[in-house]
Structure 1
């Protein structure tokens, strides 16, 4: 079985968060969803578990961080092109998120932007031309 990741995020409004993640390309997996949680799938390996605050508290004794007041984690997704990076940020903005809470990153071979979901969780979207990156890192003459 391939290794998978399930990112667990506390959300204040489950329906609103589900609509947001659906708008940026995730699909609800009903097998792992109920009225307290929704599994939103980006790929066979990438899943975001949206958990109501009471549900999230079942998994940790620590207080739920306010993602708008501090940053605990930056989540990153790859994209197939520069245009796909811009497209996902535009989708996020159109669905109620905020664009570019951090600066755009443009290094020629790598391009990235970010967005915040309705609860303030920051997602980075990155594209990289791996061949150009490797060529830039290759030693001269060699």
Structure 2
């Protein structure tokens, strides 16, 4: 079995998060979703778990509290895009479903085109596309 990745993020508004992640095109797994959490499949082995504030806090210890993206950033969630157009499409869908652009789409380094946006709770997501020919590779 392949190792799986589960990104767990706190939310202040589960319904708004559901609208956002559905709008990005991810598939909701109803078997692992309820009034405290929503499970979203990115790929067969990569998932996002959106947890209500209280449920998220139940996993924390030592007086730790959920972070909602303002101020310091501990995590940059990054996904690969299949093309520049798909990077732009993710940005458009994020904006249309309650997100905000954090860093405009740009080719900041030769062959690397990306955009960063925030979900409704301020969690940062980046979608990037690599032109493998710029790195002397064919991408296969």
Report if TM-score (shorter chain) is over 0.5. Answer: yes
Query: Which structure 1 residue ranges, 5 or more long, are not aligned?
Result: 136-142
Quote the residue 1:17 is aligned against. 17
Say if 1:68 and 1:119, in contact at 8 Å, map to a contact too.
Answer: no
Quote the residue 1:109 is aligned against. 111
The count of aligned residue pairs is 134
Quote the residue 1:41 is aligned against. 41
Q: C-alpha distance in 2, partners of 1:17/1:66? A: 13
Aligned to 1:42, what secondary structure does the other structure show? strand
Q: CA deviation at 1:131?
A: 3.5
Query: Which structure 2 residue ranges, 5 or more long, are not aligned?
Result: none
Q: CA deviation at 1:103?
A: 5.0
Say if 2:68 and 2:123, in contact at 8 Å, map to a contact too.
Answer: no
Q: C-alpha distance in 2, partners of 1:84/1:65? A: 29
Q: C-alpha distance in 1, partners of 2:19/2:66? A: 22
> Greater share of strand residues, 1 or 2?
2
Say if 2:105 and 2:116, in contact at 8 Å, map to a contact too.
Answer: yes
Residue deviations 1:39-84 (CA, integer Å, cap 9, x gap): 0111101100000010001111211123123211110000000000
Say if 1:98 and 1:115, in contact at 8 Å, map to a contact too.
Answer: yes
Over the aligned positions, Cα root-mean-square deviation in angstroms equals: 1.4
